[in-house]
Amino acid sequence: MNIEIKKSKKPIKYESAVELMEKRLVEINKNNAQELIWILEHKEIYTAGTSFSDNEILDKSIKISKTNRGGKITYHGPGQLICYFVLDLKKRKKDIRKFISIIEKTIIDTLKFYKIQTSADRENIGIWHTDNYKINKVAAIGVRVSKWIAYHGFSININNDLDKYKAIVPCGIKDKGVITLKKIRDQSYKNLDEILIKNFISNLEN
């Protein structure tokens, strides 16, 4: 499978990342570029997808970057793994729901390697961890599809500052919380990106 794997060591500005993905989308559409899977981290930023509403901003002093991805408001920052992609669904099944299922399976499979059991939820998109009947989101997913090319991506909370979520209603969901992998299981997550990429490519091929 001819996918470029890109890893950025330094934090990438959100706007720069979106600009790069949108340029790549145009090039892929012209058959001039490879598809892309990109692992990175962002500096602190709140982003709002196309279905957010103002009452989900609890702290009106925060700056929100509006985006064209699906979903509502989320937070990105240090300690969180971001996986962006630009993938051509014309080469696969033109099925957005199936593609979302591939992302969900990729995250669930990867966390299983670290002995963390998680699940997807048809009603509330994302990956969830349940402990003593408390349900917390550990990964957020936001995708946009243009000309059957899917882009944007997902984020996994490894060791980011959970207090930042108090300024918003994360992903518009009031009755569930947000958690990090470190809080679920305090261990090293050093190779998480490698395992994630391997699972993602394997699930895309099946």
> Which active-site residues does the annotation give?
171
CA 65 to the chain's CA centroid: 16
Q: Are 180 and 139 in contact, with CB atoms under 8 Å apart? A: no
Using CA atoms, how far residue 153 sits from 85, 100, 110, 143, in Å, is 6, 10, 16, 6
Using CA atoms, how far residue 114 sits from 10, 14, 168, in Å, is 25, 28, 29
Q: Write down the number of H helices and E strands in the chain.
A: 4, 11
Q: Name the CA radius of gyration of the chain, rounded.
A: 16
Q: Are 84 and 153 in contact, with CB atoms under 8 Å apart? A: yes
State phi, psi for 30 to the nearest 5 degrees. -90, 5
Distance CA 136, CA 138 (A): 6
Tokens of 196: 């994630």
What is the longest distance spanned by two Cα atoms in the chain? 51
